[in-house]
Structure formats: structure tokens, C-alpha cells
């Protein structure tokens, strides 16, 4: 039950406006009580309390931050993120998540982004929100659920993704593999290196079929997006309360893929360059 943010391209000022709206929705989310009531989760108010993190990718850096601290108690790092955005003079990709959990532990290790790699060389950084039945997912993957009590449900997701990728399935197939264990919605975004020189980003929007008739709950779960020449934006719906704009609702099961082609890379070989490495 988290909030996610995805920004891509070049307009820093627009990005900062969205980040500020992100902060406000963290502190007071007007749709949260509907979700709490629908999922029968008690003792949660309107704030997302349980950590936050971000991934900021530019042409020559990949910066991440993970915290188990509530976002509004961590303003130093919030300002640090904004200052990083202000100094960018080239394209960027920003993903961030504000966390609220109904189970599992609260710590920096269980905050987003999560990282994993598969045996066939995919490297991932991903964020997601909404609820999965992790005990059911463990059973589907033939895993002992009790082995994961001191880790987090995302570890089981990672194993599920990896097993699908290691069959050389598509990224989309891997991301959708946990759907049989879905409780409510399944919004996910990720940044990927396929070890073939390709960097990509993905967004998936999904609401469980049994929830589609609950219009109030959809207001909480749905992702909205806006595409301009200088910035693509996608975010959980609460941002529209704090920043008026013309948004489009992502369709259920909509899956977006982006080439992240601004990352600079170079390769060299000491011997081919004639460099003597002897000591």
C-alpha cells in the first residue's frame, strides 16, 4: 500500500513540482482510508509511515537512497534529492516510492528500490505497490514460507521474477508471474540492464478483477500519467489533489516500456590499447 513516482526526460522545474506534490500526498493521502477499509486493515491514518527511497539515473551516475524513516521525518534527504535534480543538465530518470505496510518488517532493507540479478545476467532495480499474498506466492514457487519471515515479501517476488527470466521469458512475462497471488492491485516500475548494452524502464498498472467494481478503491489504486515533450510522468492518483493538471488514467493491465538511451558507456582493453600494466 505505497505510492510510486516515475519521471523521465529533461524538465527539472516540472519534476520539482511533482516531487513537492509527492511529499504532500505522503503526509496526507485523501484516498487512503478507502483502501484501509476495503482491505480491512486497522490503525492506519492518512500518512505513509514506513520508509521511502528513490533511484535517480543520469548519463553518468546512478544514485539511490533507501530509508526506514518516515518521509516527513527525513527532510534532509528530501532536500538532497531536490538539489540533485536542480544540478542536472541532461536527461534523467527518477523513480521513488513512499511506503506503507500492513505486514513484514520496517527497515531500510525493506524499503524501495529493491535490487536483484538473475543467473542469465539481468540486473534489476524495482518498486511496486499494493498487496500480494506472499504465502500463496511462496507455495506457487515451491518455497518454504517460514524461511522468509525475517526477510520480506519482495524476496519471494525476486525469486519469482528470476525463475521466469531464467527461462528466457520476456520482461513482461517475468513481471506478471506473481499475479496468481494478487490480493488487490499490482503497480510496478523498474529499471533494467540486460547485460547486452540495453537499459530500459518499465511501468505496469494492474487492478485485480474483483476490485474493478469498487470505484472508490480504484481512485486509490489507479496510476495517472502525463506525457510532454520534455517530461513523462506517471504517479499514484493522490498527486492530482496537490497539483492540478490534465492527466490520463493508465488503463488496467497497461504496460509501458522506455529505452533509457542517455547513459554513457565506454569499453577498453589494456592490451589492445598497448598499455603496459606490469609492475
pLDDT value of position 213: 79
**Cα–Cα dist 8/95, whole Å:** 9
In the three-class reduction of DSSP (H, G, I as helix; E, B as strand; rest coil), residue 28 is classed as coil
Judge whether 224 lies within some domain: yes
pLDDT at 220 over 70: yes
Overall number of domains in the chain: 1
- Dump the DSSP string for 200-221: EEEEE--B-GGGTT-HHHHHHH
pLDDT at 11 over 70: yes
Pairwise pLDDT comparison (237 vs 31), residue with the higher score: 237
**Cα–Cα dist 176/161, whole Å:** 8
Query: Quick one: CA dihedral 136, 140, 141, 144, positive or negative?
Result: positive
In the three-class reduction of DSSP (H, G, I as helix; E, B as strand; rest coil), residue 134 is classed as helix
pLDDT value of position 38: 57
Query: Quick one: CA dihedral 204, 238, 27, 77, positive or negative?
Result: positive
**Contact by Cβ (8 Å): 15, 100:** no
If 0-12 CB within 10 Å is exposed, 13-18 middle and 19+ buried, where does residue 149 land? exposed
> Helix H segments across the chain?
12-27, 32-39, 75-87, 134-140, 153-165, 171-176, 215-221, 239-242
pLDDT for 143-158, tens place per residue? 998 887 766 677 888 8
pLDDT for 159-194, tens place per residue? 898 889 888 889 899 999 988 988 777 888 999 988
Judge whether 228 lies within some domain: yes
pLDDT value of position 35: 59
pLDDT, average across residues 38-55:
63
Give the CA angle between residues 175, 178, 181 to the nearest 5°. 155
In the three-class reduction of DSSP (H, G, I as helix; E, B as strand; rest coil), residue 65 is classed as strand
**Cα–Cα dist 279/45, whole Å:** 64
The highest-confidence range among 43-47, 217-221, 241-245, by mean pLDDT, is 241-245
pLDDT at 49 over 60: no
pTM attached to this predicted model? 0.86
pLDDT for 240-270, tens place per residue? 888 888 899 999 899 999 999 999 877 777 7
pLDDT value of position 103: 60
CATH of the domain at 27: 3.60.20.10
Judge whether 35 lies within some domain: yes
pLDDT value of position 76: 84
**Cα–Cα dist 94/163, whole Å:** 27
Judge whether 195 lies within some domain: yes
Of all residues in the chain, the percent with pLDDT exceeding 70 is 81
Judge whether 134 lies within some domain: yes
Pairwise pLDDT comparison (87 vs 211), residue with the higher score: 87
Judge whether 202 lies within some domain: yes
pLDDT value of position 204: 92
**Contact by Cβ (8 Å): 124, 161:** yes
Judge whether 172 lies within some domain: yes
Domain span holding position 245 = 3-259
pLDDT value of position 177: 92
Judge whether 275 lies within some domain: no
- Mean pLDDT check: name the lowest of 110-114, 206-210, 218-222: 110-114
**Cα–Cα dist 112/51, whole Å:** 8
Q: Is the peptide bond before 113 cis (omega within 30 degrees of 0)?
A: yes
Place of cell 500492513: 102
pLDDT at 39 over 60: no
13 Cβ neighbours under 8 A, 6+ residues apart:
none
Amino acid at each position: 500500500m505505497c505510492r510510486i513516482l516515475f519521471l523521465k526526460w529533461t524538465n527539472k522545474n516540472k519534476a520539482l513540482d511533482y516531487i513537492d506534490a509527492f511529499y504532500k500526498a505522503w503526509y496526507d493521502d485523501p484516498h487512503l482510508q478507502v483502501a484501509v477499509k476495503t482491505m480491512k486493515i486497522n490503525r492506519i491514518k492518512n500518512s505513509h509511515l514506513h520508509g521511502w527511497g528513490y533511484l535517480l539515473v543520469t548519463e553518468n551516475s546512478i544514485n539511490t537512497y533507501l530509508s526506514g524513516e518516515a518521509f516527513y521525518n527525513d527532510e534532509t534527504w528530501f532536500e538532497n534529492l531536490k538539489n540533485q535534480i536542480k544540478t542536472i543538465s541532461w536527461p534523467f530518470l527518477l523513480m521513488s516510492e513512499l511506503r506503507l505496510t500492513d505486514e513484514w518488517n520496517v527497515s531500510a532493507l525493506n524499503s524501495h528500490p529493491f535490487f536483484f540479478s538473475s543467473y542469465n545476467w539481468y540486473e534489476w532495480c524495482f518498486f511496486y505497490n499494493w498487496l500480494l499474498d506472499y504465502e500463496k506466492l511462496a507455495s506457487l514457487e515451491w518455497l518454504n514460507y517460514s524461511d522468509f519471515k525475517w526477510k520480506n515479501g519482495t524476496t519471494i517476488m525476486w525469486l519469482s521474477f528470476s525463475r521466469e527470466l531464467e527461462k528466457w521469458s520476456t520482461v513482461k512475462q517475468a513481471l506478471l508471474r506473481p499475479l496468481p497471488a494478487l490480493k488487490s492491485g499490482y503497480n510496478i516500475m523498474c529499471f533494467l540492464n540486460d547485460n547486452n548494452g540495453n537499459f530500459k524502464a518499465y511501468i505496469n498498472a494492474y487492478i485485480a478483477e474483483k476490485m474493478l467494481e469498487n470505484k472508490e478503491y480504484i481512485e486509490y489504486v489507479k496510476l495517472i500519467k502525463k506525457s510532454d515533450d520534455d517530461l513523462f510522468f506517471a504517479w499514484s492518483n493522490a498527486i492530482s489533489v496537490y497539483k492540478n493538471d490534465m492527466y490520463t488514467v493508465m488503463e488496467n493491465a497497461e504496460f509501458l516500456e522506455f529505452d533509457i538511451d542517455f547513459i554513457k558507456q565506454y569499453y577498453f582493453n589494456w592490451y589492445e590499447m598497448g598499455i603496459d600494466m606490469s609492475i
